[in-house]
Amino acid sequence: MGLDFTHCEAHWSYSDFHDFRKRLAACIGMNLDDMEGFGGVIPFKNYQDDIIPLLEQPDADSYLSSSGCQTVAARLRQLIRHWPDDDIDKMNALYLAEGMELASSTK
């Protein structure tokens, strides 16, 4: 059981996806646990970064717009580029970015 995404082979358990998003948030200087919806009180609107739509989405029954997918995919690739190539989060993130790019091109 876990999270699956349309248009790609990315897959995380719910807890692993939470940890992945915490890593992404840390890359932009954010502590995800301090944010609204994650136990904290800081609104996401206090941050201006193209990865925010991925960070603030609920785990279930959520989606990104076509244009949002393209923007998030590009930023996701930037944020993970220095992670080790054998890192499972990086591998899944690359699948996710590819899926987002595919989804944005098949409006």
63-87 pLDDT, tens per residue? Answer: 888 889 999 999 999 999 999 999 9
On the question of pLDDT at 1 being above 70, the answer is no
Residue 64: what pLDDT? 87
Report helix angle 88-105 to 66-80, nearest 10: 150
Residue 107: what pLDDT? 59
Token representation of residue 84: 């080790």
Which residues, in sequence order, are CB contacts of 59 under 8 Å at separation 6+?
3, 14, 17, 18
